[in-house]
Amino acid sequence: MSAQLGPEAAPSADPEHDPIATYALDPARVRRLTEQIVSTTGEHSTSTAPFTGQPVASLPVSSPYDVATAVRRARVAQASWARVPLDLRAQVLLRLHDVVLERQDELLDMIQWEAGKARKHAFEEVAHVALTARYYGLTSSRHLASRRGLGLYPALTRVDVNRIPKGVVGIISPWNYPLTMALSDGLPALLAGNAVVHKPDSQTPVTALLGIELLSAAGLPADLWQPVYGDGSVVGSAIIDNVDYICFTGSTKTGRGVGVQAAERLIGASLELGGKNPMLVLHDADLDRAAEGAVRACFSSAGQLCVSMERLYVADQVYEPFMRRFTARVQAQRLSTAFDYSGDMGSLISAAQLETVETHVEDARAKGATVVTGGRARPDVGPLFYEPTVLTGVRPGMTCFADETFGPVVSVYRFADERNAVARANDGGYGLNASIYTRDGRRGRALARQLRCGTVNVNEGYAATFASVDSPMGGMRQSGLGRRQGAEGIHRYTDAQSVATQRVLPMRPVLGMSEERYARTLTATLRLLKKLRRP
Protein backbone atom coordinates (compact mmCIF):
# COMPACT_ATOMS: atom_id res chain seq x y z
CA MET A 1 0.00 0.00 0.00
CA SER A 2 1.25 3.51 -0.75
CA ALA A 3 -0.08 7.00 -0.22
CA GLN A 4 0.93 10.62 -0.44
CA LEU A 5 0.31 12.94 2.49
CA GLY A 6 -3.31 13.50 1.50
CA PRO A 7 -6.09 11.30 2.90
CA GLU A 8 -6.31 8.95 -0.10
CA ALA A 9 -4.41 5.68 0.01
CA ALA A 10 -3.71 3.31 -2.84
CA PRO A 11 -5.16 -0.21 -2.69
CA SER A 12 -3.16 -3.00 -1.06
CA ALA A 13 -0.60 -4.93 -3.02
CA ASP A 14 -1.57 -8.29 -4.48
CA PRO A 15 -1.24 -10.77 -1.57
CA GLU A 16 -0.20 -13.55 -3.95
CA HIS A 17 2.98 -11.58 -4.65
CA ASP A 18 3.42 -10.15 -1.18
CA PRO A 19 6.78 -11.23 0.36
CA ILE A 20 5.14 -11.10 3.79
CA ALA A 21 2.72 -13.79 2.69
CA THR A 22 5.55 -15.71 1.03
CA TYR A 23 7.60 -15.82 4.22
CA ALA A 24 4.53 -16.52 6.36
CA LEU A 25 3.89 -19.60 4.21
CA ASP A 26 7.47 -20.77 4.72
CA PRO A 27 7.97 -20.94 8.49
CA ALA A 28 10.63 -23.61 8.00
CA ARG A 29 12.86 -21.01 6.32
CA VAL A 30 12.62 -18.64 9.27
CA ARG A 31 12.98 -21.48 11.76
CA ARG A 32 16.24 -22.59 10.13
CA LEU A 33 17.61 -19.08 10.55
CA THR A 34 16.61 -18.88 14.21
CA GLU A 35 18.28 -22.24 14.91
CA GLN A 36 21.62 -20.42 14.70
CA ILE A 37 20.89 -18.73 18.06
CA VAL A 38 22.72 -20.19 21.05
CA SER A 39 19.92 -21.00 23.51
CA THR A 40 19.10 -23.70 26.05
CA THR A 41 16.35 -21.92 28.01
CA GLY A 42 13.37 -23.34 26.17
CA GLU A 43 11.90 -19.84 26.21
CA HIS A 44 10.77 -18.03 23.08
CA SER A 45 9.91 -14.47 22.12
CA THR A 46 7.92 -13.35 19.08
CA SER A 47 8.86 -10.42 16.86
CA THR A 48 6.29 -8.64 14.69
CA ALA A 49 6.24 -6.89 11.31
CA PRO A 50 5.79 -3.08 11.51
CA PHE A 51 3.81 -2.93 8.26
CA THR A 52 1.09 -5.26 9.52
CA GLY A 53 1.65 -6.22 13.15
CA GLN A 54 1.68 -9.89 12.20
CA PRO A 55 4.28 -12.26 13.73
CA VAL A 56 7.65 -12.50 12.06
CA ALA A 57 9.33 -15.26 14.04
CA SER A 58 9.42 -17.12 17.33
CA LEU A 59 12.96 -16.77 18.59
CA PRO A 60 14.73 -18.84 21.24
CA VAL A 61 15.84 -16.69 24.16
CA SER A 62 19.42 -16.94 25.43
CA SER A 63 20.56 -16.90 29.05
CA PRO A 64 23.83 -15.66 30.57
CA TYR A 65 24.93 -19.30 30.56
CA ASP A 66 24.26 -19.47 26.82
CA VAL A 67 26.29 -16.31 26.28
CA ALA A 68 29.22 -17.83 28.18
CA THR A 69 28.87 -20.98 26.05
CA ALA A 70 28.87 -18.90 22.87
CA VAL A 71 32.02 -17.09 23.97
CA ARG A 72 33.78 -20.39 24.78
CA ARG A 73 32.93 -21.76 21.34
CA ALA A 74 34.07 -18.54 19.73
CA ARG A 75 37.41 -18.66 21.58
CA VAL A 76 38.14 -22.15 20.29
CA ALA A 77 37.33 -21.12 16.73
CA GLN A 78 39.27 -17.86 17.04
CA ALA A 79 42.50 -19.59 18.02
CA SER A 80 42.54 -21.37 14.65
CA TRP A 81 41.17 -18.42 12.67
CA ALA A 82 43.92 -16.08 13.85
CA ARG A 83 46.48 -18.45 12.29
CA VAL A 84 44.79 -18.35 8.88
CA PRO A 85 46.84 -16.17 6.50
CA LEU A 86 45.49 -12.65 6.19
CA ASP A 87 44.85 -12.89 2.45
CA LEU A 88 42.64 -15.95 2.98
CA ARG A 89 40.64 -14.16 5.66
CA ALA A 90 40.22 -11.26 3.25
CA GLN A 91 38.84 -13.62 0.59
CA VAL A 92 35.86 -14.38 2.84
CA LEU A 93 34.93 -10.69 2.86
CA LEU A 94 35.35 -10.37 -0.89
CA ARG A 95 33.11 -13.40 -1.46
CA LEU A 96 30.56 -11.91 0.93
CA HIS A 97 30.52 -8.77 -1.24
CA ASP A 98 29.36 -10.89 -4.18
CA VAL A 99 26.89 -12.99 -2.17
CA VAL A 100 25.20 -9.93 -0.71
CA LEU A 101 24.75 -8.33 -4.11
CA GLU A 102 23.55 -11.57 -5.69
CA ARG A 103 20.98 -12.21 -2.95
CA GLN A 104 19.93 -8.63 -2.43
CA ASP A 105 16.26 -9.24 -3.24
CA GLU A 106 15.98 -11.69 -0.36
CA LEU A 107 17.79 -9.28 1.93
CA LEU A 108 15.64 -6.33 0.87
CA ASP A 109 12.44 -8.29 1.47
CA MET A 110 13.65 -9.32 4.91
CA ILE A 111 14.70 -5.79 5.90
CA GLN A 112 11.37 -4.36 4.75
CA TRP A 113 9.39 -7.10 6.42
CA GLU A 114 11.19 -6.81 9.72
CA ALA A 115 12.10 -3.10 9.94
CA GLY A 116 9.27 -1.54 7.93
CA LYS A 117 11.50 0.48 5.59
CA ALA A 118 10.88 1.77 2.13
CA ARG A 119 12.84 -0.42 -0.26
CA LYS A 120 15.20 2.33 -1.39
CA HIS A 121 16.26 2.83 2.21
CA ALA A 122 16.67 -0.91 2.71
CA PHE A 123 19.00 -0.91 -0.29
CA GLU A 124 21.33 1.48 1.54
CA GLU A 125 22.05 -1.38 3.94
CA VAL A 126 22.84 -3.87 1.19
CA ALA A 127 25.12 -1.37 -0.52
CA HIS A 128 26.89 -0.46 2.72
CA VAL A 129 27.62 -4.08 3.62
CA ALA A 130 29.02 -4.67 0.13
CA LEU A 131 31.11 -1.48 0.33
CA THR A 132 32.46 -2.44 3.75
CA ALA A 133 33.29 -6.01 2.74
CA ARG A 134 35.06 -4.89 -0.43
CA TYR A 135 36.98 -2.11 1.30
CA TYR A 136 38.39 -4.19 4.14
CA GLY A 137 38.91 -7.20 1.87
CA LEU A 138 41.08 -5.14 -0.48
CA THR A 139 42.94 -3.12 2.18
CA SER A 140 43.71 -5.89 4.67
CA SER A 141 47.49 -5.63 4.36
CA ARG A 142 47.45 -1.84 4.62
CA HIS A 143 45.74 -2.04 8.00
CA LEU A 144 47.04 -5.27 9.51
CA ALA A 145 50.45 -6.14 8.09
CA SER A 146 53.32 -5.63 10.51
CA ARG A 147 55.13 -2.34 9.89
CA ARG A 148 58.63 -1.13 10.65
CA GLY A 149 58.98 1.63 13.23
CA LEU A 150 61.90 3.94 14.00
CA GLY A 151 64.33 2.57 16.55
CA LEU A 152 66.45 4.62 18.92
CA TYR A 153 69.73 4.02 17.06
CA PRO A 154 69.52 4.08 13.24
CA ALA A 155 70.42 0.66 11.79
CA LEU A 156 71.11 -0.71 15.29
CA THR A 157 67.59 -0.81 16.76
CA ARG A 158 64.91 -2.50 14.65
CA VAL A 159 61.27 -2.05 15.69
CA ASP A 160 58.34 -4.05 14.31
CA VAL A 161 54.76 -3.05 15.16
CA ASN A 162 52.30 -5.93 15.01
CA ARG A 163 48.49 -5.95 15.18
CA ILE A 164 47.30 -8.66 17.56
CA PRO A 165 43.59 -9.59 17.58
CA LYS A 166 41.67 -8.88 20.77
CA GLY A 167 40.15 -12.37 20.81
CA VAL A 168 36.35 -12.38 21.05
CA VAL A 169 34.49 -9.21 20.11
CA GLY A 170 30.98 -8.56 21.36
CA ILE A 171 28.60 -6.69 19.07
CA ILE A 172 25.26 -5.30 20.23
CA SER A 173 23.49 -3.97 17.14
CA PRO A 174 20.35 -1.79 16.80
CA TRP A 175 17.03 -2.28 15.03
CA ASN A 176 17.14 0.73 12.73
CA TYR A 177 19.78 -0.71 10.37
CA PRO A 178 19.37 -4.43 11.05
CA LEU A 179 21.67 -5.68 8.30
CA THR A 180 24.54 -3.24 8.04
CA MET A 181 24.83 -2.45 11.74
CA ALA A 182 24.82 -6.20 12.38
CA LEU A 183 27.49 -7.11 9.82
CA SER A 184 29.57 -4.04 8.98
CA ASP A 185 31.02 -3.65 12.47
CA GLY A 186 31.84 -7.35 12.64
CA LEU A 187 33.59 -7.71 9.29
CA PRO A 188 36.77 -5.84 10.28
CA ALA A 189 36.78 -7.74 13.57
CA LEU A 190 36.81 -11.02 11.65
CA LEU A 191 39.45 -9.81 9.23
CA ALA A 192 41.70 -8.83 12.15
CA GLY A 193 41.56 -12.43 13.40
CA ASN A 194 38.82 -12.18 16.01
CA ALA A 195 35.63 -14.13 16.59
CA VAL A 196 32.28 -12.42 17.21
CA VAL A 197 29.47 -12.94 19.71
CA HIS A 198 26.51 -10.90 18.54
CA LYS A 199 23.20 -9.80 20.01
CA PRO A 200 20.93 -8.29 17.36
CA ASP A 201 18.10 -6.10 18.55
CA SER A 202 15.01 -7.98 19.68
CA GLN A 203 12.83 -6.18 17.12
CA THR A 204 14.87 -7.11 14.02
CA PRO A 205 16.84 -10.32 14.67
CA VAL A 206 15.96 -12.34 11.57
CA THR A 207 17.65 -9.92 9.16
CA ALA A 208 20.87 -10.26 11.16
CA LEU A 209 20.54 -14.05 11.17
CA LEU A 210 20.17 -14.03 7.38
CA GLY A 211 23.33 -11.93 7.18
CA ILE A 212 25.18 -14.47 9.33
CA GLU A 213 23.96 -17.26 7.04
CA LEU A 214 25.39 -15.37 4.07
CA LEU A 215 28.73 -15.10 5.86
CA SER A 216 28.74 -18.88 6.12
CA ALA A 217 27.91 -19.12 2.42
CA ALA A 218 30.92 -16.87 1.75
CA GLY A 219 33.18 -19.36 3.52
CA LEU A 220 33.41 -18.17 7.12
CA PRO A 221 34.36 -21.19 9.27
CA ALA A 222 31.86 -22.50 11.82
CA ASP A 223 31.56 -20.97 15.29
CA LEU A 224 33.37 -17.73 14.47
CA TRP A 225 30.12 -15.74 14.61
CA GLN A 226 27.89 -16.73 17.53
CA PRO A 227 24.40 -15.13 17.68
CA VAL A 228 22.55 -14.83 20.97
CA TYR A 229 19.13 -13.31 21.58
CA GLY A 230 17.22 -11.67 24.39
CA ASP A 231 16.78 -8.61 26.54
CA GLY A 232 19.71 -6.22 26.49
CA SER A 233 19.90 -5.88 30.28
CA VAL A 234 20.41 -9.65 30.55
CA VAL A 235 22.02 -10.89 27.36
CA GLY A 236 23.85 -7.69 26.48
CA SER A 237 25.25 -7.42 29.98
CA ALA A 238 26.42 -11.04 29.85
CA ILE A 239 28.24 -10.37 26.58
CA ILE A 240 30.17 -7.48 28.15
CA ASP A 241 31.04 -9.72 31.09
CA ASN A 242 32.67 -12.33 28.85
CA VAL A 243 34.19 -10.76 25.72
CA ASP A 244 37.47 -8.92 25.11
CA TYR A 245 35.99 -5.85 23.39
CA ILE A 246 32.48 -4.47 23.00
CA CYS A 247 30.97 -2.60 20.04
CA PHE A 248 27.61 -1.01 20.83
CA THR A 249 25.23 1.10 18.73
CA GLY A 250 22.19 2.58 20.44
CA SER A 251 20.98 5.30 22.77
CA THR A 252 23.25 7.56 24.80
CA LYS A 253 21.57 6.44 28.02
CA THR A 254 22.25 2.76 27.39
CA GLY A 255 25.70 3.53 25.99
CA ARG A 256 26.76 5.09 29.27
CA GLY A 257 25.91 1.87 31.06
CA VAL A 258 27.81 -0.18 28.49
CA GLY A 259 30.85 2.07 28.93
CA VAL A 260 30.78 1.77 32.71
CA GLN A 261 30.55 -2.03 32.59
CA ALA A 262 33.35 -2.26 30.04
CA ALA A 263 35.54 0.04 32.14
CA GLU A 264 35.05 -2.15 35.19
CA ARG A 265 36.56 -5.05 33.22
CA LEU A 266 39.22 -2.85 31.58
CA ILE A 267 38.12 -3.86 28.09
CA GLY A 268 37.85 -1.49 25.17
CA ALA A 269 34.56 -0.20 23.83
CA SER A 270 33.30 1.71 20.81
CA LEU A 271 29.93 3.39 21.25
CA GLU A 272 27.89 5.06 18.53
CA LEU A 273 25.08 6.82 20.35
CA GLY A 274 22.38 9.44 19.80
CA GLY A 275 22.30 12.64 17.80
CA LYS A 276 20.30 15.80 17.25
CA ASN A 277 21.91 16.53 13.93
CA PRO A 278 21.93 20.02 12.33
CA MET A 279 21.87 21.07 8.69
CA LEU A 280 22.99 24.57 7.67
CA VAL A 281 21.61 26.07 4.44
CA LEU A 282 23.81 29.07 3.66
CA HIS A 283 22.74 32.11 1.65
CA ASP A 284 24.59 30.91 -1.45
CA ALA A 285 23.21 27.36 -1.43
CA ASP A 286 21.66 25.75 -4.49
CA LEU A 287 18.14 25.74 -3.05
CA ASP A 288 16.73 22.93 -5.17
CA ARG A 289 19.66 20.74 -4.27
CA ALA A 290 19.41 21.72 -0.61
CA ALA A 291 15.67 21.07 -0.45
CA GLU A 292 16.01 17.67 -2.09
CA GLY A 293 18.94 16.77 0.15
CA ALA A 294 17.07 17.89 3.26
CA VAL A 295 14.15 15.57 2.46
CA ARG A 296 16.50 12.60 2.21
CA ALA A 297 18.50 13.65 5.26
CA CYS A 298 15.42 14.14 7.44
CA PHE A 299 13.13 11.32 6.34
CA SER A 300 15.23 8.38 5.17
CA SER A 301 14.20 5.30 7.13
CA ALA A 302 11.35 7.45 8.53
CA GLY A 303 13.92 9.54 10.41
CA GLN A 304 15.07 6.47 12.37
CA LEU A 305 18.70 6.98 11.49
CA CYS A 306 21.35 8.09 13.96
CA VAL A 307 22.83 10.53 11.42
CA SER A 308 19.54 11.95 10.11
CA MET A 309 18.78 15.67 10.40
CA GLU A 310 16.38 16.93 13.07
CA ARG A 311 17.37 20.64 12.94
CA LEU A 312 17.54 22.85 9.83
CA TYR A 313 19.15 26.30 10.08
CA VAL A 314 18.38 28.41 7.00
CA ALA A 315 19.90 31.80 6.14
CA ASP A 316 17.44 34.71 6.25
CA GLN A 317 18.20 35.63 2.63
CA VAL A 318 16.93 32.27 1.30
CA TYR A 319 14.53 31.14 4.03
CA GLU A 320 11.24 31.71 2.16
CA PRO A 321 12.25 30.24 -1.22
CA PHE A 322 13.92 27.29 0.53
CA MET A 323 10.82 26.57 2.61
CA ARG A 324 8.60 26.61 -0.49
CA ARG A 325 10.83 24.07 -2.20
CA PHE A 326 11.32 21.94 0.90
CA THR A 327 7.66 21.85 1.91
CA ALA A 328 6.51 20.92 -1.59
CA ARG A 329 8.94 18.01 -1.67
CA VAL A 330 7.92 16.80 1.79
CA GLN A 331 4.24 16.88 0.82
CA ALA A 332 5.00 14.81 -2.28
CA GLN A 333 6.48 11.94 -0.25
CA ARG A 334 4.71 8.62 -0.78
CA LEU A 335 4.12 6.56 2.35
CA SER A 336 4.22 2.91 1.39
CA THR A 337 4.18 -0.72 2.44
CA ALA A 338 5.05 -1.84 -1.08
CA PHE A 339 7.88 -4.32 -1.55
CA ASP A 340 9.21 -2.40 -4.53
CA TYR A 341 10.81 0.98 -5.19
CA SER A 342 7.55 2.91 -5.51
CA GLY A 343 7.51 4.22 -1.92
CA ASP A 344 9.45 7.16 -0.47
CA MET A 345 9.05 6.49 3.25
CA GLY A 346 8.18 3.47 5.32
CA SER A 347 6.92 2.82 8.83
CA LEU A 348 8.11 3.50 12.31
CA ILE A 349 9.41 0.39 14.04
CA SER A 350 7.11 0.07 17.07
CA ALA A 351 4.17 1.48 18.97
CA ALA A 352 6.63 2.97 21.47
CA GLN A 353 8.45 4.84 18.70
CA LEU A 354 5.17 6.10 17.29
CA GLU A 355 4.17 7.33 20.73
CA THR A 356 7.47 9.22 21.07
CA VAL A 357 6.94 10.97 17.74
CA GLU A 358 3.33 11.87 18.55
CA THR A 359 4.34 13.16 21.99
CA HIS A 360 7.10 15.38 20.60
CA VAL A 361 4.85 16.89 17.93
CA GLU A 362 1.88 17.45 20.21
CA ASP A 363 4.08 18.98 22.90
CA ALA A 364 5.53 21.42 20.36
CA ARG A 365 2.11 22.24 18.93
CA ALA A 366 0.62 22.84 22.40
CA LYS A 367 3.46 25.21 23.30
CA GLY A 368 3.11 27.36 20.20
CA ALA A 369 5.07 25.69 17.40
CA THR A 370 3.60 25.62 13.90
CA VAL A 371 3.13 22.39 11.98
CA VAL A 372 4.00 23.45 8.44
CA THR A 373 3.12 20.05 7.01
CA GLY A 374 2.50 16.56 8.33
CA GLY A 375 1.83 16.09 12.02
CA ARG A 376 -0.50 13.07 11.81
CA ALA A 377 -0.34 9.33 12.29
CA ARG A 378 -1.46 7.42 9.19
CA PRO A 379 -3.17 4.17 10.24
CA ASP A 380 -4.81 4.08 6.79
CA VAL A 381 -1.38 3.17 5.39
CA GLY A 382 -0.18 0.98 8.25
CA PRO A 383 -0.46 0.78 12.04
CA LEU A 384 2.83 2.57 12.74
CA PHE A 385 3.02 5.17 9.97
CA TYR A 386 3.45 8.86 10.70
CA GLU A 387 3.61 11.65 8.16
CA PRO A 388 6.93 13.41 7.49
CA THR A 389 6.54 16.52 9.60
CA VAL A 390 8.05 20.01 9.41
CA LEU A 391 7.86 22.34 12.44
CA THR A 392 8.69 26.00 12.86
CA GLY A 393 8.65 28.13 16.00
CA VAL A 394 10.28 25.41 18.10
CA ARG A 395 12.03 26.88 21.12
CA PRO A 396 13.65 25.83 24.42
CA GLY A 397 11.18 24.14 26.73
CA MET A 398 9.66 22.05 23.94
CA THR A 399 10.64 18.40 24.11
CA CYS A 400 11.75 18.20 20.48
CA PHE A 401 14.00 21.25 20.81
CA ALA A 402 16.91 19.34 22.35
CA ASP A 403 15.78 15.71 22.76
CA GLU A 404 16.31 13.25 19.94
CA THR A 405 12.97 12.36 18.32
CA PHE A 406 14.29 9.57 16.09
CA GLY A 407 11.37 9.86 13.75
CA PRO A 408 10.14 11.82 10.69
CA VAL A 409 10.14 15.22 12.40
CA VAL A 410 12.37 18.23 11.69
CA SER A 411 12.42 21.73 13.18
CA VAL A 412 13.38 24.66 10.93
CA TYR A 413 15.07 27.87 12.21
CA ARG A 414 16.26 31.08 10.57
CA PHE A 415 19.70 32.59 11.10
CA ALA A 416 21.16 35.99 10.28
CA ASP A 417 24.89 35.23 10.29
CA GLU A 418 27.00 32.10 10.00
CA ARG A 419 28.71 32.46 13.38
CA ASN A 420 25.29 32.38 15.00
CA ALA A 421 24.32 29.34 12.92
CA VAL A 422 27.46 27.45 13.94
CA ALA A 423 26.92 28.28 17.61
CA ARG A 424 23.33 27.05 17.46
CA ALA A 425 24.34 23.93 15.58
CA ASN A 426 26.87 23.18 18.34
CA ASP A 427 24.31 23.79 21.07
CA GLY A 428 23.36 20.78 23.18
CA GLY A 429 25.32 17.71 24.13
CA TYR A 430 25.28 15.69 20.92
CA GLY A 431 27.85 15.70 18.13
CA LEU A 432 27.30 12.91 15.64
CA ASN A 433 26.63 14.30 12.15
CA ALA A 434 26.05 17.65 10.44
CA SER A 435 25.42 19.00 6.96
CA ILE A 436 26.26 22.27 5.18
CA TYR A 437 24.80 23.43 1.87
CA THR A 438 26.78 26.07 -0.03
CA ARG A 439 28.04 26.66 -3.56
CA ASP A 440 31.50 27.35 -2.11
CA GLY A 441 32.98 23.99 -1.13
CA ARG A 442 36.07 25.57 0.43
CA ARG A 443 33.93 27.74 2.66
CA GLY A 444 31.80 24.75 3.58
CA ARG A 445 34.86 22.75 4.60
CA ALA A 446 36.16 25.66 6.69
CA LEU A 447 32.83 25.90 8.52
CA ALA A 448 32.83 22.14 9.02
CA ARG A 449 35.95 22.42 11.19
CA GLN A 450 33.97 24.64 13.57
CA LEU A 451 31.23 22.06 14.09
CA ARG A 452 31.63 19.67 17.00
CA CYS A 453 30.50 16.61 15.05
CA GLY A 454 32.26 13.40 14.10
CA THR A 455 31.11 13.65 10.47
CA VAL A 456 30.14 16.67 8.38
CA ASN A 457 28.71 16.45 4.85
CA VAL A 458 29.02 19.39 2.47
CA ASN A 459 26.19 19.48 -0.06
CA GLU A 460 24.93 16.13 1.21
CA GLY A 461 22.99 15.03 4.27
CA TYR A 462 24.64 11.84 5.51
CA ALA A 463 25.34 9.47 2.62
CA ALA A 464 28.70 10.98 1.57
CA THR A 465 30.42 10.20 4.86
CA PHE A 466 28.37 7.06 5.52
CA ALA A 467 29.40 5.52 2.19
CA SER A 468 33.04 6.70 2.24
CA VAL A 469 34.21 3.67 4.17
CA ASP A 470 37.90 4.63 4.06
CA SER A 471 37.06 7.52 6.42
CA PRO A 472 36.25 7.15 10.13
CA MET A 473 32.69 7.60 11.33
CA GLY A 474 31.51 8.23 14.89
CA GLY A 475 30.46 10.82 17.40
CA MET A 476 31.86 13.53 19.62
CA ARG A 477 30.59 14.48 23.07
CA GLN A 478 27.46 12.52 24.08
CA SER A 479 27.23 10.91 20.65
CA GLY A 480 29.81 8.29 21.43
CA LEU A 481 33.36 7.00 21.63
CA GLY A 482 35.55 5.43 18.99
CA ARG A 483 35.07 5.14 15.26
CA ARG A 484 33.81 2.64 12.72
CA GLN A 485 35.15 2.49 9.14
CA GLY A 486 38.62 3.28 7.89
CA ALA A 487 41.78 2.37 9.76
CA GLU A 488 40.27 3.19 13.16
CA GLY A 489 37.36 0.86 12.40
CA ILE A 490 39.65 -2.16 12.26
CA HIS A 491 42.44 -1.11 14.61
CA ARG A 492 39.95 -0.89 17.48
CA TYR A 493 39.75 -4.70 17.35
CA THR A 494 43.51 -5.16 17.74
CA ASP A 495 46.22 -4.49 20.27
CA ALA A 496 49.38 -2.83 18.98
CA GLN A 497 52.48 -4.84 19.86
CA SER A 498 55.99 -3.38 19.51
CA VAL A 499 58.93 -5.76 19.07
CA ALA A 500 62.42 -4.20 19.28
CA THR A 501 65.51 -6.08 18.15
CA GLN A 502 68.80 -4.54 19.28
CA ARG A 503 71.89 -5.11 17.14
CA VAL A 504 75.59 -4.81 18.10
CA LEU A 505 75.43 -2.17 20.82
CA PRO A 506 73.47 -2.91 24.00
CA MET A 507 71.35 -0.27 25.74
CA ARG A 508 73.96 0.26 28.46
CA PRO A 509 77.52 1.53 28.89
CA VAL A 510 80.16 -0.52 27.05
CA LEU A 511 83.94 -0.83 26.99
CA GLY A 512 84.37 0.38 30.55
CA MET A 513 82.37 3.55 29.96
CA SER A 514 80.99 5.03 33.18
CA GLU A 515 77.31 5.68 33.65
CA GLU A 516 78.03 9.42 33.65
CA ARG A 517 80.00 9.22 30.40
CA TYR A 518 77.23 7.11 28.89
CA ALA A 519 74.61 9.75 29.85
CA ARG A 520 76.74 12.50 28.25
CA THR A 521 77.20 10.46 25.07
CA LEU A 522 73.47 9.78 24.84
CA THR A 523 72.74 13.47 25.41
CA ALA A 524 74.98 14.41 22.49
CA THR A 525 73.30 11.76 20.33
CA LEU A 526 69.84 13.12 21.12
CA ARG A 527 70.92 16.65 20.19
CA LEU A 528 72.34 15.38 16.91
CA LEU A 529 69.15 13.46 16.09
CA LYS A 530 67.10 16.61 16.59
CA LYS A 531 69.32 18.49 14.13
CA LEU A 532 68.84 15.63 11.68
CA ARG A 533 65.05 16.03 12.16
CA ARG A 534 64.66 12.48 13.37
CA PRO A 535 61.69 11.94 15.73
- Active-site positions read 272, 306
CB atoms within 10 A of CB 421: 24
> By three-state DSSP, how is residue 417 classified?
coil
Alpha-helical segments (H) within 403-440: 418-425
> By three-state DSSP, how is residue 81 classified?
helix
What 8-state DSSP symbol labels residue 220? P
Q: Which residues contact 500 (CB under 8 A, 6 or more apart)?
A: 151, 157, 158, 159
- b/e burial code for range 73-102 (CB count within 10 A of at least 16 → b): bbbebbeebeeeebeebbbbbbbbbebbee
Distance of CA 199 to the CA centre of its chain: 15
State how far the Cα of 56 lies from the Cα of 205, in Å rounded to an integer.
10
431 contacts 455 by C-beta, under 8 angstroms: no
Distance of CA 88 to the CA centre of its chain: 27
User: How far apart, in Å, are the Cα atoms of 432 and each of 114, 226, 252?
Assistant: 26, 30, 11
State how far the Cα of 351 lies from the Cα of 130, in Å rounded to an integer.
32
3-state helix, strand, coil in the chain (%, to 5): 45, 20, 35
DSSP string covering 179-195, please? THHHHTTHHHHHHTT-E
358 contacts 377 by C-beta, under 8 angstroms: yes
State how far the Cα of 3 lies from the Cα of 95, in Å rounded to an integer.
39
Q: Which of 504, 503, 473 is nearest to 488 (CA)?
A: 473
Helices 119-138 and 104-115: angle between axes, nearest 10 degrees:
130
> By three-state DSSP, how is residue 284 classified?
coil
Residue 289: burial class (beta carbons within 10 Å; 0-12, 13-18, 19+):
middle
Distance of CA 523 to the CA centre of its chain: 50
Q: Which of 455, 451, 392 is nearest to 423 (CA)?
A: 451
49 contacts 113 by C-beta, under 8 angstroms: yes
Q: Which residues contact 434 (CB under 8 A, 6 or more apart)?
A: 277, 278, 279, 280, 425, 448, 451, 453, 455, 456, 457
208 contacts 182 by C-beta, under 8 angstroms: yes
> By three-state DSSP, how is residue 47 classified?
strand
State how far the Cα of 466 lies from the Cα of 145, in Å rounded to an integer.
26
State how far the Cα of 471 lies from the Cα of 474, in Å rounded to an integer.
10
